[in-house]
Amino acid sequence: MYPPLVLVLAIFFAVATAIAALSSPLPHPLDPLSPTELTEVRSAVLAFSLVASRPISFHYVGLDEPEKPDVLSHTNAAAAAILPRRAFVIARAGGLSHEFYVDVTNTSAPRVVSHGIHDGPGFPMFTTEEQVAAGQLSREYPPFRESLQRRGLALTNVGCGVFSMGWFGKNEARRLAKVQCFIVAGGTANYYARPLEGVTLLVDVEKLVIVAYRDRAAYSVPKAEGTDYRAGKAGPPFNGAVPAPGVVVQPEGKGFHIDDHIVRWANWEFHVGFDMRAGTVISMASVHDADADLWRRVLYRGFASEIFVPYMDPEEEWYFHTFMDAGEYGLGVSAVPLQPEADYPANAAYMDGYYVDADGKPVKSENIICVFERYAGDIAWRHTGVAGPIAPITEVRPDVTLVVRMVVTVGNYDYTLDWEFKTVGSIKTVVSLSGILEMKATNYTHVDQIRDDIHGTLIAENTVGVYHDHFITYHLDLDIDGTKNSFIKNTIIPKRNTGIRATGGAPTPRSYWTVLYEVAETEADGQVNINGAPADLLFVNPSKKTKVGNEVGYRLIPAGATATSLLANNDYPQRRASYTKKQVSGLYAEQSTGDDNLAAWSKRNRRIKDEDIVLWYTVGLHHVPCQEDFPVMPMISGAFELRPFNFFERNPLIRTRPPGNSPNCSCSFGRSG
Q: Which residues are catalytic?
A: 325, 413
Backbone angles phi, psi at 42, to 5 degrees: -60, -45
Q: Label residue 455 left, alpha or beta by phi (over 0 means left) and psi (-120 to 50 means alpha).
A: left
Q: Does residue 398 interact with a copy of itself by CB under 8 A? A: yes
Q: Does residue 25 interact with a copy of itself by CB under 8 A? A: no
**What minimum distance in Å lies between the beta carbon of 208 and a copy of itself?**
18
Best CA proximity match to 634, nearest among 432, 396, 347: 432
Task: Decide whether 78 or 447 has the Cβ nearer to a copy of itself.
Answer: 447
Task: Decide whether 200 or 583 has the Cβ nearer to a copy of itself.
Answer: 200
Residue count (the chain): 673
Task: Decide whether 112 or 162 has the Cβ nearer to a copy of itself.
Answer: 162
**What minimum distance in Å lies between the beta carbon of 60 and a copy of itself?**
19
The interface with a copy of itself within residues 33-52 (CB under 8 A) comprises none
Which of 60, 123, 126, 265 contacts a copy of itself by CB under 8 A? Answer: 265
Q: How far apart are CA 154 and CA 19, in angstroms?
A: 37
**What minimum distance in Å lies between the beta carbon of 34 and a copy of itself?**
25
- Residue 502's identity, in one-letter code, is A
**What minimum distance in Å lies between the beta carbon of 76 and a copy of itself?**
24
Which of 214, 223, 288, 484 contacts a copy of itself by CB under 8 A? Answer: 288
Task: Decide whether 513 or 607 has the Cβ nearer to a copy of itself.
Answer: 513
Best CA proximity match to 594, nearest among 306, 174, 329: 306
CA distances from 150 to 178, 195, 422 (A): 22, 16, 59
Q: Does residue 259 interact with a copy of itself by CB under 8 A? A: no
Task: Decide whether 43 or 546 has the Cβ nearer to a copy of itself.
Answer: 546
Q: Does residue 214 interact with a copy of itself by CB under 8 A? A: no
List the x/- string, 579-608, binding to a copy of itself by CB under 8 A: ------------------------------
Task: Decide whether 107 or 562 has the Cβ nearer to a copy of itself.
Answer: 562
Q: Does residue 220 interact with a copy of itself by CB under 8 A? A: no
Task: Decide whether 84 or 186 has the Cβ nearer to a copy of itself.
Answer: 186
Q: Cα 94 vs. chain centroid, distance in angstroms?
A: 32
With contacts defined by CB under 8 A, name the span among 83-91, 110-118, 161-169, 592-600 that binds a copy of itself.
161-169
Task: Decide whether 21 or 266 has the Cβ nearer to a copy of itself.
Answer: 266
**What minimum distance in Å lies between the beta carbon of 202 and a copy of itself?**
14
Backbone angles phi, psi at 518, to 5 degrees: -130, 125
With beta carbons less than 8 A apart as the criterion, state whether 534 and 514 touch. no
Q: Does residue 472 interact with a copy of itself by CB under 8 A? A: no
Contacts of 393 (CB under 8 A, 6+ apart): 383, 384, 385, 664
Q: How far apart are CA 602 and CA 588, in angstroms?
A: 17
Which of 467, 474, 579, 616 contacts a copy of itself by CB under 8 A? Answer: 467
Task: Decide whether 73 or 627 has the Cβ nearer to a copy of itself.
Answer: 627
Q: Does residue 226 interact with a copy of itself by CB under 8 A? A: yes
Which of 68, 115, 254, 361 contacts a copy of itself by CB under 8 A? Answer: 254
Q: Does residue 12 interact with a copy of itself by CB under 8 A? A: yes
With contacts defined by CB under 8 A, name the span among 66-74, 147-155, 452-460, 589-597 that binds a copy of itself.
452-460
The interface with a copy of itself within residues 229-248 (CB under 8 A) comprises 229-232, 234-248
Which of 224, 424, 472, 608 contacts a copy of itself by CB under 8 A? Answer: 424
Q: How many CB atoms within 10 Å of residue 231?
A: 9
Q: Does residue 446 interact with a copy of itself by CB under 8 A? A: yes
Q: How many CB atoms within 10 Å of residue 118?
A: 16
CA distances from 472 to 166, 331, 387, 528, 565 (A): 17, 11, 48, 16, 12
Q: Does residue 384 interact with a copy of itself by CB under 8 A? A: yes
List the x/- string, 616-645, binding to a copy of itself by CB under 8 A: ------x-x-xxxxxxxxxx--------xx
With beta carbons less than 8 A apart as the criterion, state whether 361 and 127 touch. no
Can you list the pairs that 442-446 forms with residues at least 24 positions away whose Cβ atoms lie under 8 Å?
442/197, 442/219, 442/220, 443/219, 443/220
List the x/- string, 515-544, binding to a copy of itself by CB under 8 A: x---------------x--x-x--------
The interface with a copy of itself within residues 494-513 (CB under 8 A) comprises 494, 496-497, 504-513
Backbone angles phi, psi at 112, to 5 degrees: -75, 120
**What minimum distance in Å lies between the beta carbon of 206 and a copy of itself?**
20
With contacts defined by CB under 8 A, name the span among 19-27, 39-47, 196-204, 310-318 that binds a copy of itself.
310-318
Q: Does residue 152 interact with a copy of itself by CB under 8 A? A: no
Best CA proximity match to 435, nearest among 162, 107, 126, 189: 189
Q: How far apart are CA 466 and CA 390, in angstroms?
A: 61
Contacts of 587 (CB under 8 A, 6+ apart): 122, 327, 596
* Sign of the C-alpha dihedral computed for residues 454, 460, 462 and 466 taken in this order: negative
Which of 24, 107, 220, 409 contacts a copy of itself by CB under 8 A? Answer: 409
Q: Does residue 382 interact with a copy of itself by CB under 8 A? A: yes
Q: How many CB atoms within 10 Å of residue 669?
A: 10
Q: Does residue 67 interact with a copy of itself by CB under 8 A? A: no
The interface with a copy of itself within residues 178-207 (CB under 8 A) comprises 184, 189, 191
The interface with a copy of itself within residues 112-141 (CB under 8 A) comprises 132
The interface with a copy of itself within residues 541-570 (CB under 8 A) comprises 545-550, 555, 557-560, 563, 566-568
Which of 25, 142, 152, 388 contacts a copy of itself by CB under 8 A? Answer: 388
What does the DSSP assignment read for 144-165? HHHHHHHTT--GGGEEEEEE--
Contacts of 325 (CB under 8 A, 6+ apart): 1, 306, 307, 308, 309, 331, 334, 408, 410, 413, 415
Which of 30, 44, 87, 403 contacts a copy of itself by CB under 8 A? Answer: 403
Q: How many CB atoms within 10 Å of residue 33?
A: 30
The interface with a copy of itself within residues 316-355 (CB under 8 A) comprises 316, 319-320, 334, 336-337, 339-345, 347-348
The residue count for binding a copy of itself (CB under 8 A) is 205
With beta carbons less than 8 A apart as the criterion, state whether 668 and 660 touch. no
Backbone angles phi, psi at 5, to 5 degrees: -100, 145
